[in-house]
Amino acid sequence: MEDTGLETRVTVLGHLQRGGSPTPFDRILASRFGSMALQLASQEKFGHMVSLRGSEIVAVPVKEAILQLRTVPPDSQIIFAARAVGTSFGD
């Protein structure tokens, strides 16, 4: 505040994006992702990302993950639901 004259606060971005506090599933999933990421790094499997497939945490080569663009139709129910809870898509 001293440098800019603006009040600054810490925000946990994930909570802001989701629109609420993390659930137990969210917390456990984050731990599972972190554990797998650590395993990948210790195995020097760089260029991989951690992914949830079904109920399993798996390593996916980044090249494989970005081969196909996966979009959500603008008129889909998930977009409608996100807008209903105040999610902004910048439009």
Number of separate domains in the chain: 1
Confidence of residue 30 (pLDDT cuts 50, 70, 90): very high
Residue 43 lies in a domain: yes
Q: How confident is the model at residue 80, as a pLDDT? A: 92
Domain containing 50 equals: 23-84
Can you name the residues that pair with 50 across neighbouring β-strands? 59
Can you name the residues that pair with 48 across neighbouring β-strands? 61
CB 62 within 8 A of CB 49: yes
Residue 90 lies in a domain: no
Residue 29 lies in a domain: yes
Q: How confident is the model at residue 77, as a pLDDT? A: 95
Residue 41 lies in a domain: yes
Residue 16 lies in a domain: no
Q: Using one digit for the tens of pLDDT, what is the confidence trace for 38-87?
A: 999 999 999 999 999 999 999 999 999 999 988 999 999 999 998 998 88
Q: What is the model's pTM?
A: 0.59
Nearest CA to 82 out of 20, 21, 18 is that of 18
